[in-house]
Structure 1
Amino acid sequence: MDDRLDTRRVRYFMQVLDSGSVRGAAEVLDMDPSAVSRAIGILEQECGLPLLERHGRGVVPTDAGQMLAGYVRRQHSQKQHLMAQLDSIRKIERGHIDIVAGEGYVDWLMRHSLRDFMISHPKITIDLDVASTDEIVQRVVEERAHVGLLFQPPKDERLTSHHSHPQPIQAMVLRSHPLAQLDRPLTLADLQPYPGATLHRNFGVRQHIEAAEISEGVRLASLLTTTSFSALGHFVSAGLGYALGTRISLTPNASNPELVELPMKNPLLSQGRSHIVSRHGRMLSPAASELLRQVVVDMRRFAETKPSG
């Protein structure tokens, strides 16, 4: 196969897939779009099948294009595997790690695993991206990220979960809030009279909350809907109402003695789990393996500590 395919044209093809269009790929490659288009045409002749088809203003791969892209990615993965094995002979001194996480994990990572790892390995570069659950799964599966941290991922045989623990959804309020005086697990009906803040529906946390609302026959009215866990904490700190979130996402606010985390009674709000995942069967570089190990150790320690408040 390698004898039939020109490496340069294959690289152009993969860039078109990443960019979503010939023009976008040409800009990245600093080439004329017609030159990129001609190169793709020659590659299609080499394969004997069309590789791309127009879709709106861009292009998408045909079945043959998807097969070629999968082949190229497997070749790249095998090369990375070889380099990782060679690199394992040496100490972890240089390298790069891509990690993708839900926004609620970012503060915890920077306070613990990433902070400690970067102090110990100052020449290892790290790319930390924030993404939705579906995006995290996609990036890890496509090997565009070494490690992913997320809440309640879908079952996918292409993922390996290295650690998971229960991540119940709790209510965060000011210590002076009437809900803090109830001294018992809260129902959603307890929250209903008060203004609250919640996440958008593409978050797994919000989906669990909506399932609990259905089970209790309650509809919570949200004064603030956001994609930011930080915004939830500021909403509560400002005395505007309550917020629902997981313990790890509420951790950045734990240093504020006026904020308390209250348990919820509905069992649906206790079914979610945090997971640390990588691509099943992928050989991680020594640097990525070491960071993964540290994240797992730190997360286990975090899961075993009792919440304060």
Structure 2
Amino acid sequence: MRSQVLQETAVRYFLEVVKTGSIKDAALRLNVAPSAVSRQVARLESELDTLLFERRARGMIPNAAGELLAAHAKRTQQDIERVSGDISALRGLRNGHVRVISTEGFAFDFIPTLIAQFREKYTGIQFHLEVCPQNEVARQVRDGEADVGITLSAVPEPGINQALRHPSPVLAVMANDHPLAGQRQLSLAQVVAYPLALPPKNSSVRQLLDISCSRQGLHYNVAMTSNHADALVSFVSTGGGNGSIAFYGELSLRTRLQRQSLVAIALRDREMNERYLEVQTRASRVLPDAGRAFVQFLTDAIRTGG
């Protein structure tokens, strides 16, 4: 076996096939011909004298040897990034790259605002922000596809370090002139008297709402549903027809609340307060200095409400 092959293009192409599950999709992401990807994978298998994938009708799945190589390759990439970051730190954190993955609610306003504030001090740090479903955040952090994850979680995830676990209760969101806008706290019994703007049934907010309403024997009317959380907030901020109400967390609304463009009111109901925001990193990984600095900046901002 020639160990040099593990440092070359072949490994990068191999990892893309692992990620996408097919030669064709990997080629599209790499912007090369499928034959080029196929050749590089075949080269790896020849050099290592073993098959790395199970070829199936619906795609390619890494076998035991493939999983071992993928884990090694990801650790190697992360070690290179960490050393590069440490070298950058000697120059005063002048450059670096941070990959952030988040659920949609935090990605519209909260995280971009914090990234902009962070870059006012560290102008050389580049960011990539990706939005994905809640159940994908921990997986991508664990697999090394992202440095920092921001998500809502009910239970700890294996292989994940919780840099911060912070209460993130669900608030009732409505227009400034809504009949309930002057209340300091509300019950769901009061809220469901008005039409609701809701996310899909598989969302954490909808599940908490349904559990709480079921326990109390409450029923609600839906004015609008959307898988885009900001669309729901925009809908209710204009009145939403007949005083519609949506549900959101404070961090996701922070800028709008500061501008007083809508009202968000706490709920008394137990289930609507049993939700936590997590800032996640991989448990076995030491982040480069740029990543560590942003995690500290992010957690401080959440704790202090800054």
Tell me which interval the TM-score lies in, with the shorter structure as reference length. Answer: 0.7 to 0.9
2:14 partner letter: F
Kindly tell me: are residues 2 and 191 of structure 1, through their superposed partners in 2, closer, same or farther at Cα, counting changes over 3 Å? Answer: farther
Q: What corresponds to 1:265 in structure 2?
A: 268
CA drift of 1:29 comes to: 4.9
Deviations 1:126-153 (A, max 9, x none): 1112222112112211122111111225
Kindly tell me: are residues 70 and 242 of structure 1, through their superposed partners in 2, closer, same or farther at Cα, counting changes over 3 Å? Answer: same
Deviations 1:5-48 (A, max 9, x none): 55343333223223331123344556553454344334334444
Kindly tell me: are residues 125 and 153 of structure 1, through their superposed partners in 2, closer, same or farther at Cα, counting changes over 3 Å? Answer: farther
Query: Is 2:165–2:276's contact at 8 Å kept on the other side of the alignment?
Result: yes
Query: Is 2:88–2:94's contact at 8 Å kept on the other side of the alignment?
Result: no
Give the match's secondary structure for 2:128: strand
Kindly tell me: are residues 179 and 61 of structure 1, through their superposed partners in 2, closer, same or farther at Cα, counting changes over 3 Å? Answer: same
Query: Is 1:4–1:46's contact at 8 Å kept on the other side of the alignment?
Result: no
Q: What corresponds to 1:297 in structure 2?
A: 300
2:90 partner letter: I
Query: Is 1:151–1:275's contact at 8 Å kept on the other side of the alignment?
Result: yes
Q: What corresponds to 1:224 in structure 2?
A: 224
Give the match's secondary structure for 1:93: coil
Structure 1, unaligned runs of 5 or more: 304-309
- Distance of 2:89 and 2:305 partners within structure 1: 29
1:268 partner letter: E
TM-score norm. by structure 2 comes to 0.87
2:165 partner letter: S
Deviations 1:135-175 (A, max 9, x none): 21122111221111112254123111122221111111234
Over the aligned positions, Cα root-mean-square deviation in angstroms equals: 2.6
Give the match's secondary structure for 2:86: helix
Query: Is 1:205–1:246's contact at 8 Å kept on the other side of the alignment?
Result: no
Structure 1 segments of 4+ aligned residues over 6 angstroms from their partners:
none
Query: Is 2:154–2:275's contact at 8 Å kept on the other side of the alignment?
Result: no
TM-score norm. by structure 1 comes to 0.86
Give the match's secondary structure for 2:239: coil
- Distance of 1:124 and 1:87 partners within structure 2: 10
Q: How does 1:100-249 map to 2 (within 5 A)?
A: 100-106=101-107, 107-111=109-113, 113-152=114-153, 154-180=155-181, 183=183, 185-240=185-240, 241-249=244-252
Query: Is 2:236–2:245's contact at 8 Å kept on the other side of the alignment?
Result: yes
CA drift of 1:218 comes to: 2.6
- Distance of 2:191 and 2:138 partners within structure 1: 33
Residue 282 of structure 2 corresponds to residue 279 of structure 1: yes
Query: Is 1:167–1:247's contact at 8 Å kept on the other side of the alignment?
Result: yes
Kindly tell me: are residues 193 and 127 of structure 1, through their superposed partners in 2, closer, same or farther at Cα, counting changes over 3 Å? Answer: same
1:126 partner letter: F
Per mean C-alpha deviation after superposition, the further-off stretch among 26-35 and 189-198 is 26-35
Q: Percent identity?
A: 28
CA drift of 1:242 comes to: 0.6
CA drift of 1:115 comes to: 1.9
